[in-house]
Structure 1
Amino acid sequence: MKTIIIGLLSLITTGAIAQKLNSQTTKNYIMKKVKFQSSGLELVGDLYLPVNYEEGKKYPAVPILGPMTFAKEQAPTEYAKRFAEQGYVALAFDPRYRGESAGLPRELEDPIAKVEDAKAAAKYLASLSMVNDEQIVGFALCQGSSEMLRAVSEDSIFKGLVTVAGHYRDREGDIQWMGTEEALEERIASGKVAYNTYKQTGEVINVPAVDETRMDVGMPGKFVWDWYHTWSDKGIWVNNYPKMSDALLFEYESLTAAKKLEKPYLMIHSDNSFLPEVAKRQFEAVPATMKKLQWEGETGHLQYYDDTEILDRTANQAIAWYNSIFE
């Protein structure tokens, strides 16, 4: 199992503005710290605006979901800046349980909660005076893609979707992710034990989110460790994973949502993005008449997170797609 999982993971290498807390202006964008509600919990985000935005003018807007266990300061911020530079209002936010947002237990990985948080983020954007509520679109990376896919398919507030290097979810893909069906069942079982322990006693059983050698963590493998632990060292991201997350994580699938998606959809993926055959399977399931699969050869999964050239290219592709929807 260890060899299989590490082999798979090696692919990863190749409201109102009055709610603001503070703001930051550069020559390319304005960032305002904001708060909004989701299921009664306070979420915190960084709202990025075009530097020359005009009062009274309406702009398209995009809430952003990042990968499994993400913090908003990671890839979501990189894309939010680029969207703002091209005339969009973009929201990078911490989902409940993580970062600056509320919710217990901390660092819980709950895909359904992220779906609801993405919808809440879109509704928050729609409440802003400078946002065109007919031009709100979804954007997501890695596992956030499977959650944003469901949010966009379920809520009419979204008018389109772009997903990048997506980790899409179905049973066959989860078995491939874990290496064997037995390994998947073991992880589900231990997650349920931890979940029942929490329900009965309030105790949260935690393991690291990433580790170089341990296989019982959220995302095992050296290559994931190499990328994530630097964020932990900076104090920006917490290397923690409540084990009961597995009881929620592996109940989730995105194929059903893909089969219901009628809105314009751009999927950006590559041979070296995670589980490429699963991505193709989910794309084929989408019934939307306006859809495109942008396949990018050997671009590495993590290049979509922090490689400047790839970030620029991907943001430009997303903006071009969104603009085509609004024509």
Structure 2
Amino acid sequence: MIKVTFDSKGTNLVGNLYIPDNLSEPTPAVVIIGPMTFVKEQSPTEYAKRLVKEGFITLTFDARYRGESGGSPRNYENPMAKVEDVTSAINFLISRQEVNANNIMGLGICAGSGVMSKAASSDQRIKVLATVAGHYRDQESDLAWLGTDGLAARLEKSKAAKAKFEEIGEVEYIDAVDPVRTDVAMPGKAVWDYYGKWAEMGKWENRYAVISDIDLLAFETATAAQKIKQPYLMIHSDNSFIPDAAHRHFERVPGNDKKLLWEGQNSHLQYYDDPVVIDNAVKNIADWYNQHLH
């Protein structure tokens, strides 16, 4: 693994580049974007380490505002900024002599699935797309996620936080996760069980900038799905996040060169850190990529 840096709209991003041993020619590369509030050491690394063994160069990176990457305010969740960061990651990859610029693959995990879908819908340098346990965004899924009152409350608080930030420069924060409370960015015991251990290790910060919700809740993936032209593999399950939204997202993608792998009872968080589940997912992803090499 090589620590790398690259620019995204004037912000320095830090990533980990994985290169297969004994390369003899430019090689296909995969750019990976992870879940909401992620840092690169979490689920993206699990996929990167496995995909490099399948012969792919892989890049994980901290998006703006989190981890080792720059950007202010910290812990600001902005999906469209992440789309820009994916574009910048591709710019970086194609600048590397080891990379076959005609074979750039995209992989999104959870909320990263929507980000990567949006990036692929406008950047044809992404030749093949795969998404895993996606959080796909339309009005129905947002209502299923937060409810009518919850959406309205979060947006109202975010607007007030933005007004304060613009007036006096103060950033208002809440916890990103909590085992019991619902007034956090990502409520739920299962989410806490995953992220809490990273916070305890000091490798992930349990903070969320309240101004994020203005940008987060404006983000939708339905339009992007309708514009995806790349061969597309979706991996999801009955117990992954909002399965009905995954079906809608998949159905919106045009064409026939797409595949839905519905993996029964796997839980959402198993796609983050369960070795057996990830091994199987990576095998299917690698097979899909290899079928579509240029």
TM value normalised by structure 2: 0.98
Q: Which position in structure 1 is the counterpart of 2:99? A: 131
Q: Which position in structure 2 is the counterpart of 1:48? A: 18
Q: Which position in structure 1 is the counterpart of 2:184? A: 217
The one-letter amino acid of 1:78's match is: E
Deviation, structure 1 residue 213: 2.1
- Identify unmatched segments of 5+ residues in structure 2: none
Q: Share of identical aligned residues, percent?
A: 50
Partner residue of 1:122 out of 90, 103, 117: 90
2:126 matches 1:153: no
Partner residue of 1:97 out of 65, 89, 113: 65
Q: Structure 1: how far apart are the matches of 2:118 and 2:106?
A: 10
State how 1:184-263 maps to structure 2 within 5 Å.
184-263=151-230
Deviation, structure 1 residue 288: 3.1
- Identify unmatched segments of 5+ residues in structure 1: 1-30
Deviation, structure 1 residue 146: 0.4
The one-letter amino acid of 2:281's match is: T
The one-letter amino acid of 2:201's match is: K
Q: Which runs of at least 4 in structure 1 moved beyond 4 Å after TM superposition?
A: none
Q: Structure 1: how far apart are the matches of 2:203 and 2:224?
A: 32
Q: Structure 2: how far apart are the matches of 1:58 and 1:44?
A: 23
2:140 matches 1:172: yes
Q: Which position in structure 2 is the counterpart of 1:19? A: none
Q: Structure 2: how far apart are the matches of 1:273 and 1:230?
A: 21
The one-letter amino acid of 2:71's match is: G
- Secondary structure of 2:194's counterpart equals helix
> Deviation per CA, 1:218-267, whole angstroms, max 9, x where unpaired?
10122211111100111111100001111110000011000111111000
- Secondary structure of 1:186's counterpart equals helix
Q: Structure 2: how far apart are the matches of 1:221 and 1:88?
A: 35
- Secondary structure of 1:67's counterpart equals coil
Q: Structure 1: how far apart are the matches of 2:249 and 2:114?
A: 10
Contact 2:35 2:109 in 1 (8 A): yes
Q: Structure 1: how far apart are the matches of 2:272 and 2:21?
A: 24
Q: Structure 2: how far apart are the matches of 1:215 and 1:253?
A: 23
Q: Which position in structure 2 is the counterpart of 1:16? A: none
Q: Structure 1: how far apart are the matches of 2:139 and 2:168?
A: 31
Deviation, structure 1 residue 191: 1.1
The one-letter amino acid of 2:209's match is: P
Q: Structure 2: how far apart are the matches of 1:215 and 1:43?
A: 32
Deviation, structure 1 residue 69: 0.3
Q: 1:183–1:53: structure 2 CA closer, same or farther, 3 Å change rule? A: same
Calculate the aligned-residue CA RMSD, in Å: 0.9
The one-letter amino acid of 2:9's match is: S
Deviation, structure 1 residue 216: 1.7
State how 1:55-94 maps to structure 2 within 5 Å.
57-94=25-62
- Secondary structure of 2:32's counterpart equals strand
- Secondary structure of 1:123's counterpart equals helix
Deviation, structure 1 residue 133: 0.5
- Secondary structure of 1:288's counterpart equals coil
Q: Structure 1: how far apart are the matches of 2:134 and 2:56?
A: 22
> Deviation per CA, 1:69-102, whole angstroms, max 9, x where unpaired?
0010001011111111111100010000000000
> Deviation per CA, 1:96-120, whole angstroms, max 9, x where unpaired?
0000000001110000000100111
User: Across the two proteins, how many residue pairs are aligned to each other?
Assistant: 294
